Amino acid sequence: MELVTGDYTHVILEHCYYGLLGIFLKNRYRTFLIIHSHNIEYLRFKEMKKIWWPILQWLEKKSHRSADLSLFKTTADMDFAISNFHLDRAKCQLVPFGIISGNQPSIEQRNLARKIICTRHNIRSDTKLVLFMGSLDYAPNAEALRNIIVNIIPGIRKISREPFKVIVCGKVADKKYADLLELQDKDYCYAGFVDDIDNYFSGVDVFINPITSGGGIKVKLVEALSYGLPVVSTKQGAAGISKETTGDQLLTSGDHDNDLFCRHVVESWNKPVGISEAFLSAFQWKKIVGELAERIKQQ
For the stretch 272-275, contacts whose Cβ atoms lie closer than 8 Å and that sit 24 or more positions apart, written own/partner, are: 273/104, 273/110, 273/227, 273/228, 273/229, 273/230, 274/228, 274/249, 275/104, 275/225, 275/226, 275/227, 275/228, 275/249
HSE, side-chain direction, 13 A CA sphere, residue 205: 20
CA 290, 295, 298, 299 dihedral sign is negative
Residue 186 has pLDDT above 70, yes or no: yes
Contact 32, 296 (CB under 8 A): yes
pLDDT, tens digit, 9 for 90 and up, residues 187-209: 999 999 999 999 999 999 999 99
> Does the pLDDT of residue 1 top 50, yes or no?
no
Q: What is the pTM of this model?
A: 0.81
Cβ 177 vs Cβ 136: under 8 Å: yes
Domains and CATH numbers, the chain: 10-95 (3.40.50.2000), 107-280 (3.40.50.2000)
Nearest CA to 129 among 159, 165, 160?
Answer: 165
